Structure formats: C-alpha cells, structure tokens
Structure 1
Amino acid sequence: MLFSQKKLVIFAAFLISTFIIGIAGALQAPTLSRFLSYEINVGPVYVGLFYSINAMASIIGSFWVAKYSDKKSKRRDIVIFCCLMGMANSLTFAFTRHYFVLIMASLCFASLASAAMPQIFALAREYAVKTGRNVVTFNSLIRAQLSLAWVIGPPLSFALAVNYGFTTMYLCAVVMYLVAMLVIVSFLPIVDRNPVNALDIASLDVNPDIPLIKNKSVVFLFLATVFMWTANMMYLIDMPLYIDSVLHLSTSLPGFLMGMAAGIEIPVMLIAGYLVPYVGKRNLMLAAIVCGALFYIGLLLFTHEFALLALQILNALFIGIVANIGIIYFQDLLPTRIGVASTLFNNGVTCSVIIGGLMQGIISDWYGHHVIYSIALVMLIISFFFCLQVKSDK
C-alpha cells in the first residue's frame, strides 16, 4: 500500500513539475514578440533575429546537456539546474530593457533552461520503463500537462503584460521556476539508466547505435519535425501582430486562440496515445499534418474572429498529435539514447524557431503578414513527404 502511494506521489510530481515549468514558458513565449516590439522598440527584423539567436543557443545548450545526461544517472539534478537557469533568464528580462543584454541572457541562461522539458520527458520514460508502466500512456498524460499550461499561460501572459506590465509577468515566471524546483527536489526520483529492450529495437528494424546522420529514419523524422514546427512557429510569432495590425481585432484574442488550441490538445493527446497500438505512430503523424494543412488554408480564407476560434480545432489536432507522438517516435528510434532522442525532438522545434523567426521577420516586413500562412502551408506539405520516408511502426 505504501509503495503504491509512493508511486502515486511520484506520478503527481511529474504532472505538477511539467505543468509549472510549462506555465513559466507559456507566460513568456506568447508575448515575446510584443515585448520586443513595444517595450524594447525594435523592428520586425530585430524581433526575428532575437528569436533565431535564442533558438541557436538553445539547440547547442540543450544538446550538450542531453549528451551529458545520457552518460550520468542523476537526470533529476540536471532538471533542477535548468530551472535555476530559467530563473536567472526571467529575472534579467524583468529588469532589463537593453536588446543586446537580453540576447546575452538568452545565450547564457535560456540556452540551458530550454533543456528542462526534454530532460523531464527522458526521466519520465526511464521511470515508466523501470516501474513497468505503459510508456505511451505515461508520456501522454505528462505531455497533456504542458498543453494544460498553455491553456492558462497565454491568456494570463497577455493579461499580466497589458494590465500590470512585463516586469510583473517575468517575475511570475521566476516564481513558477522556484515552485517547480521545490517539487522536483522533494518528490521526483533519481532513476538509473534502463537496460535496452531488444524487442523494442527489433520492432522498428533500426540500429539505434549508428551515428545519427546515418540513421535515415531519424534524419527524415527530424526534417519533418523542423518543417512542421517552422510552420507553427511562424504562426505563433506572426499571429499576435497580424491580429493587431491587420485584422484590428481585440488585443486579448491571441491569448484566447492559443489557450483554446492548447485546451483541445489535451484530449487529442490522450486519444492519440490510446490509438498508437492500433494506427501506428507514422500514420497518426501523417493525419496530423493533413489537419495542419487544412488549418493554414482556413487562415488564408477566413479573418472573422469566430472563424479563427473554430479553426483552432484543426490546429489542436495538428499540434496535439505531433507534440505527443513525435517525441515518443524519436525515443523508440533511439532507445539507447533517451536524452538525445528527447532533445532531438526539442531541437527540431528549436530549429524551427530559427527558420521561422527569420522568415517571419523578413517576409512580414517586405510582403506583409498574409503571405506567412501560404508559406506555412508549403512547409507542411514538405513535412508530409519527409514523414513518409520514416520507417513505419505498423
């Protein structure tokens, strides 16, 4: 009985820490373009440049952390360190309004803080395997907490920034990281690295120990991830500015759109996790990309507030599936390198920030906001064909 209670407490700690770290990120990311544009007073090109520099630093920092974590057993301590870096970054943003100082903070602090989430997912997978839990279901429940954080985070972010200022908003993020650290220190376990299950490797017919660049399924899945998340990132960066400066709708609408999509993503993730044994990961990913393509077609055709809200159903189907199944797919392709696998997915998303940030800044400055969504549609079509090249699990 005590053992079952202990496992329940650990499971709750995974959910709570993921949710709180997710809240910290969801407070900052949705308003970053607005913060840079209106608080720092820089143009669209500098906004895109900031996103790209921040993303490049995150790729390098998180991949370094991932390689280190796969050689050490105390992954929990690495998550705590990443939270400390998140606190330092948020404090800098709270009290600094100098563009280049903020870039340096991103290089030093945000680059390492970005590793927190993939490390939690890697720790969760190792714990699930060690305790005999269903890995897909366990991951889906934890990943759903991140979406739940994005239900609350974006509306709260815009509300805090508009009504109380960015300093208050970033200080709230500091508090979130501090609370997450207390939960992690108190309740998350230290899990030894798990032995590799040979059946898991054979089921995908891949050699997980070959160099990443020679693992064709990993390469194609990474490319598909980059292209589909580039489309999403251009949307996330551009949408608040598009709604404000082109459609002239409510300044709070972007937060509600992001929150609504994140809310729908939660049941989508859970259902997708349930469907994996019956449909397969690749087939689910392909279906998600189709939903994403329909979403961007809708953005090109409709501009009314109600239509934008309704389109979030397609957006949620797209993001809910690829955000949940994508990381599991990488882990299954690289079962001996869970930290690297989780970070590859995360870095695929981060690469999209580099590409999406530069493209959004330049294209919106030269051609306007509407063209962004046509290019996003093309990105998803490309990702569909890359995903077809990944080794099927069915």
Structure 2
Amino acid sequence: MTKVSSFRQKQSVIFIAFLATTFIVGVAGALQSPTLSRFLSFEVNVNPRLVGLFFSVNALASIIGSFLLAKYSDQKGDRRHIVIFCCLMGVANSVIFAFSRHYVVLITLGVLFAALSSAAMPQVFALAREYAVKTGRNVVAFNSLIRAQLSLAWVIGPPLSFGLAVHYGFTAMYLSAMSMFVVAMLFVAFFLPSVEKNPTSQLDNSIDIKSAEQSLFKNRNVVCLLLSTVFMWTANMMYIIDMPLYVDSVLHLSNSLPGQLMGLAAGIEIPVMLIAGYLVPKLGKRNLFFIAIVCGLLFYIGMILLTNKFALFALQLFNALFIGIVANIGIIYFQDLLPTRMGVASTLFNNGIICSVILAGVIQGFVSESYGHQVIYWIAFAMVAISLLFCALVNDKS
C-alpha cells in the first residue's frame, strides 16, 4: 500500500493524470457536441427553432450549475470530489440521450444532468492552476500542455462522433461518451491531488487583491474581457451549430466533411496552444488576444466568400489560430484578473463560452430558418469585430 501511495503522489504521475483526465473528458464532450444539432434535427425530428431553443436552454442551465459549483469549490469544496460528481452526471446525461428520443425528456432531465456535468472541465483547470502554483511549476506552460489535450480530444472526437452516429447510430455514440466519463472518474479518484486553497497572504505581491476581490460586475477589466469572450465564442458556436447543416443543405458536400473540418482545426490548435503559451512572456496575453481575433476575422471572411471543399480545409488554419490562442490564454487571463477565486475565474471563462451558446442557438435557429445559412457567417464576422473592441478596453499590464 505504501508503494502504491508513493507512486500516486509522484509529480510525473499526477501530471500525466491531469493530461489523461482532460483528454478523456474532452473526448466525451467532443463526441456529443458536434452531432447534437443533427441528432435533434434528424433523430428527434424537431424544427430549427426547437434546435436553437435546446442549445439555449442547455447553455443557461450549464451557466447556473457550473457557477454554483464554482463558488462552493472556492469556499470549502474539494475540487477532486466535485469533478467526480460532474463525471457521474455526465454518465447520467449520456444514458438519457442514448435511449430517449422525446424532446421534452431531453430538454428537462437531459439538460439537468448536462448542467451539473458542465463544471468538470473548469474545475480540472482550476485544480491544475492551484497544483502548478503549489509545486512551483510554470503556470502558463503547465496550462498550455493540459489545454492542448482538450484540442487533441477534438481532433479525435468529431470524426469519431460522426462516424459512430452515421454507421452505428446515436445510441452507440452516446454510450461511448458514457464510457469516457466512467474512465475519467477512475483517473480523478485514484491520481488527481487534493490541493488546499491558497490563502491571500501567499499570493504574488504584484497582484491587486482589492481589485481582484471586488464584485465581478464592478471590475471593468473582468466585464470587458467577459464580453469580448462572449462575442468571439458566439461567432464560433454559430459556426459549430450551423456548419454541419450548411455543408449538407447549401454546399451539398460530404456528410463526413464537418467532422473532418473540426478535427483538422483541433489538430492545428495543439501546436498553436503550446507556442502561444511560451509566447505569453514576450508578447503578453492582450497582444496575443488581438492576433487571435484578427485571425478570426480572416476566417469568417473566408467562410463568407469561399465554398470549395479544399478552401474550407485551408481556412481551418485561421480558425485554429483564433480558437487555439483564446482557448488557451483566455482562462489564464481570467485567473490572473481573479487570483483569489480560481474556481470562479475558470468557470467565468467557461460560462462566457456557454453564454455564447445561448446567443448562438437563438441567432442560428431564427436566422437560418428565416434568411438562410449564409447570413450566419456575416453575423459571426460582426461578432468577432465587436469582441476586438471589448478586448481593447481591458486595461492589463501583460
């Protein structure tokens, strides 16, 4: 028993456990999300507005559930136990979607379990940040390596999701997601550490504690960064929701193409994240955000003007630069602005993304049904431009 305990406490083992947990939970999410609009449209047989409504209700529930768990975790909860609970809720959610085709059941019971499982990833990142600080690791590099696992999961997840759904059915696909959550629970239970909350006195002297601890909505930097995050991710979520339908009904290309595009973008994101992590000390988080958003503008211009299959593949470079940088640096940005509330900071970034799903679901459902799919990408371009303005308003020293 002593040897087993010693093995589990090794930093190398804990680091690998963080990588594995992030990857496995990421695969579970990447199996479910890309085909959700297709599942609701063709398996549950609902119209585009009900598809949009589902995304919005699911997102709102996730914001509430994850934020409540975040506040609890920052005060007295053991993040490791919370991650296990979230994975268990993910198992329940996967089972509901595997065997039910009733819209009311999915949007109530299914959404409830999804909301409670949504806190898993931000809690893992909060725990990773606290562990990196405690053990003296390079926080940005540590986060970049862990965040890269999420992108790696999205390299494998979307093509696998579409492959399972098309060839074996949605039941097999959701049961596969369930198995991922079970495996993740085992890694968390046996290998991830419990880390004591860092008292204020141990924080870096350069941190403005008074500013960090004030009300979130009175902190201008946090509010501007949150709004910037919401607008840029709204554009991205509209793309994720609409692109599979756009490729099928407007461009009349292969059903497997959406999964390939998502997988390619996620694959490019991995080196982008790692490089961005090492560029933070040289360029600063704010400048990297500007570079990412400009790449986002170029990506959506391409989506508006280009319809060729190979052009869509080429555009994924700009998409990957856009998402890879903001997904990696964004969570660190929030954590640096709120250093005494790691759970809230990580969840705020995650909830900014989830909030964007509410907007994206409503806009995509209404616009695609009333004006067609192509208008979606003009709106996405405008959203990214607005996010650039809010990013410029963040007064940050980095």
TM-score, normalization by structure 1: 0.98
- Aligned pairs for 1:204-353 (under 5 A) are 207-353=211-357
Q: Deviations over 1:112-158 (max 9, x none)?
A: 10000000000000000000001101000000000000000000000
- 1:157-168 mapped onto 2 (5 Å cutoff): 157-168=161-172
Map Cα deviations across residues 181-238 of structure 1 (whole Å, 9 max, x no partner). 0111110011111234777463579710110000000000000000000000000000
Q: Which residue of 2 aligns with 1:355?
A: 359
Is this contact kept in 2: 1:293–1:381, CA < 8 A? yes
Letter in 2 for 1:78: I
Matched, 1:12 2:16: yes
CA contact (8 A) 2:216 2:222 kept: yes
Please report how far the alpha carbon of residue 105 of structure 1 lies from its aligned counterpart in structure 2 after TM superposition: 2.2
- Aligned equivalents of 2:289, 2:45: Cα separation in 1: 39
Report the secondary structure of 1:208's partner residue: helix
SS in 2 for 1:148: helix
- In structure 1, the partner of 2:3 is none
Question: In the aligned structure 2, how far is the partner of 1:393 from the partner of 1:17?
Answer: 33
Aligned-residue CA RMSD (Å) = 1.6
User: Match for residue 49 of structure 1?
Assistant: 53
Quote the Cα distance in structure 2 between the aligned partners of 1:343 and 1:203. 20
Q: TM-score, normalised by structure 2?
A: 0.97
In 2, the alpha carbon distance for the partners of 1:375 and 1:383 equals 13
Distance 1:48 1:5 in 2: 45
Measured against aligned partners, the alpha-carbon deviations of 1:296-321 in whole angstroms (never above 9, x if no partner) come to 00011110000000000000000000
- C-alpha separation in 1, matches of 2:266 and 2:139: 22
1:85 aligns with 2:86: no
The verdict on how the C-alpha distance between 1:191 and 1:198 changes in structure 2, with shifts beyond 3 A counting, is closer
Report the Cα distance in structure 2 between the residues aligned to 1:122 and 1:27, rounded to whole angstroms: 24
Partner SS state of residue 206, structure 2 = helix
Partner AA of 1:67 in structure 2? K
Deviations 1:2-29 (A, max 9, x none): 7898100000000001000000000000
How far did 1:106 drift?
3.4
Give 2:132's match in structure 1, choosing from 108, 113, 128: 128
Gapped regions of structure 1 (runs ≥ 5): none
Distance in 2 between residues matched to 1:14 and 1:173, nearest whole Å: 19
Q: Residue 8 of structure 2 contacts residue 14 of structure 2 at CA under 8 Å; is this kept in 1?
A: no
Task: Kindly provide the amino acid, as one letter, of the partner of residue 337 in structure 2.
Answer: L
Question: Could you list the per-position Cα deviations for residues 278-312 of structure 1 after superposition, in whole angstroms to 9, with x for gaps in the alignment?
Answer: 10001101110000000000011110000000000
Q: Does 1:100 align with 2:104?
A: yes
Question: What secondary structure is seen at the aligned counterpart in 2 of 1:247?
Answer: coil
3-state DSSP of counterpart to 2:213: coil
Instruction: Classify 1:279/1:117 alpha carbon distance in 2 versus 1 (closer, same or farther; 3 Å).
Output: same
Residue matched to 2:121: 117
Structure 1 residues 113, 201: closer, same or farther in 2, change over 3 A? farther
Assess if the C-alpha contact under 8 Å between 2:97 and 2:110 holds in 1. Answer: no
Contact 2:229-2:352 at 8 Å conserved across structures? yes
